[in-house]
Amino acid sequence: MEEQQQFVATPEAKGKAKQLRLFAMLAWLLAIAGEIFAIVKLIHDETMVWLIVAIVVILLLAVLGSYLWKKANRLDPASEKNKVKFFIQSQLGAIMAVLAFLPLVIFIFTDKNASGKTKGIAGAIAIVALLIGGISGIDFTPPSVEKYTEQINSQTAEIKDLTNGQDHIFWTPAGNKLHIYEDCQHIRNSDVSEGTVKDAWEARGIDNNEICKTCIARAEKSKANAEDEIPSVEELQEAGSAIE
C-alpha cells in the first residue's frame, strides 16, 4: 500500500495566512470600536441618520474581516482533531459579527433617549445587518488539515493513473486547476509553477483544487493510444508461430 501523504502548510502559506488574519482582526476591532461609538454617541433621534451610517460601516468591516479570515483558513487550515479549536477558527467570522451587532441591537431597543420611530427604523436595520454579517461570516464548507490530506491523496492517485505513475503537475497562482501538461491551453501564457499535487496544495491552500478537464481528456487519449500500440498476448503468440 502506498504511503499516505499528510498536508502541511508551507512557511510562505503560513506567513500569508498570518498577515490576512491580522488584517481581519483589525477590521473586526474597528467594527467593535464603531459599535461602541454608536452606542455611546448615536442612539438619539437627532443622530439617527448617522447611526444608520455607522451600522453600514460596521457591517462592511465585519464582512471584510470574515472574508480575510476565510481566505487565511484556506492557506493554513485547522485540524479537526481539536473540535473546539476547529469550530472557533472556522466560524470566527460569524462569532465576531454577533459581537459587533448584538450589543448595539440591544442598546437601540432599550435606550430611553430614543423614540419608538428611531428604535423601529435603526433597530430593524441593525437586525438585518446582524443577520447579513452573521451569515456571511459562517463557513459552510470549512477547510481542515484532514480534508486537504484526503483530497491530496485522492488527486495524487488520479494523476498517477493518468500519467503512468508520475506525480508531477503544473499550476498558476490565481487558478484553482491542477494541470498535467505545461503547454495546456489554459495556462500557456501564465506564470506557471510545477511540482507534486501535495506541493500545489501546500503552496496555495486553495480549497477545491480540481484537475483540469482538458488535461484529463488529453492524458486519457494518450494513455489509450499507448495501450493500442502494445501488442496483445494473442498477437505475440501469432507472431511467434509465424517465425517458427
Q: Which of left, alpha, beta for 3 (phi over 0: left; psi -120 to 50: alpha)? A: beta
Q: What pLDDT band is residue 175 in, cutting at 50, 70 and 90? A: confident
Please compute the mean of the pLDDT values over residues 13-17 and round it to a whole number.
93
Whether 235 shows a pLDDT value over 70: the answer reads no
Read off the pLDDT band of 236 (50, 70, 90): very low
Which of 129-133, 165-169, 238-242 bottoms out in mean pLDDT, i.e. has the lowest? Answer: 238-242
CA distance 98 to 65: 13
> Does the structure show a pLDDT above 50 at 157?
yes
Residue 44 near residue 118 (C-beta atoms within 8 A): yes
| Dihedral sign for Cα atoms in the order 75, 80, 85, 86 | positive
pTM of the model: 0.82
Residues 149, 3: Cα–Cα separation, whole Å? 12
Which pLDDT belongs to residue 202?
86
- Write the pLDDT tens digit of every residue in 47-92: 999 999 999 999 999 999 999 999 999 999 999 999 999 999 999 9
Closest CA to 66 of 39, 107, 36, 101: 101
State yes or no: pLDDT of 134 exceeds 80: yes
Higher per-residue confidence, 240 vs 162: 162
